[in-house]
Structure 1
């Protein structure tokens, strides 16, 4: 009798597993259309020396103008703290529903932008979340950040209108890491200021 119990348990396990597999296949429709997946990157949208996608210095600083230039992206007014003061910015939201860029303006025109998500690539394919090494940081001049960028590395290439701000792990008080010490710093945002 004790020899039959393990065989019975084994048969039950095989039958149960087979039944589960058949149930899983029964609901599958071989002719169903595949579900479209929304890309996280907006096609054609990238940061360059002239702006973000079709948003440049000539773009009006308004939700509707920025939305139109970004292919219908949702744009809303947000408040941000910058160097100790609160300023209004226009934030553009990507397909994921998260902010992808913030725009500053003056005199009714765009004066700058900050890329705050990986949805918008920068020059050379740089994206928020990449490391200093991955973005070619060693070809830039870096300074210690101040104000909003305190204890961050603020880097740029000579003559460029784009600044790269890196969060530096294990920042040593009183001394900004240099060279290879920055390799694991993470790109926090890219700032365009024409």
Structure 2
């Protein structure tokens, strides 16, 4: 992905690119506690829609921005509830591909052996592409919230469209990232003279 950041530097790693608007006000402090508003990996589609709509982002934005998981990795703790004792009827989440679930159970054994164990969110984790959506269509979404996008009629058609057409994914991702860039702009923030440090 090639991005022009507001400090004028370009980062290039393949995939879509867009110009980030200059002059955005950033905060002076970064707190881990502020990530509490991020959607949980256990959310269903209704919860995801509500979470994104609070930020002025629509259903298509939500599905498109979820495609950023093409470069993601997760520790077992974020998805292991889907692998064992999922419900009174199913040991594993029935929306998950059986073979894929068995592989994840080996990666994330009980009791835990490796606290850093986990799974990439798509099979081409070093490449920004639409493989994430293709995997959802065959039950290989790591997070329940990801797999839910293919299981719900409101979002399935978007997953299918983005899985079929990578250039469409890049186009929609760019548009949604530009919208996301305007979410939560701080009134009392500052335009940094140097990206890496507060003024």
* TM-score over 0.5 (shorter chain): no
The structure that is strand-richer by fraction is 1
Structure possessing the higher relative contact order (Cα contacts under 8 Å, 6 or more residues apart): 2
Higher Rg of the two aligned structures: 1
TM-score (norm 1): 0.21
The structure that is helix-richer by fraction is 2
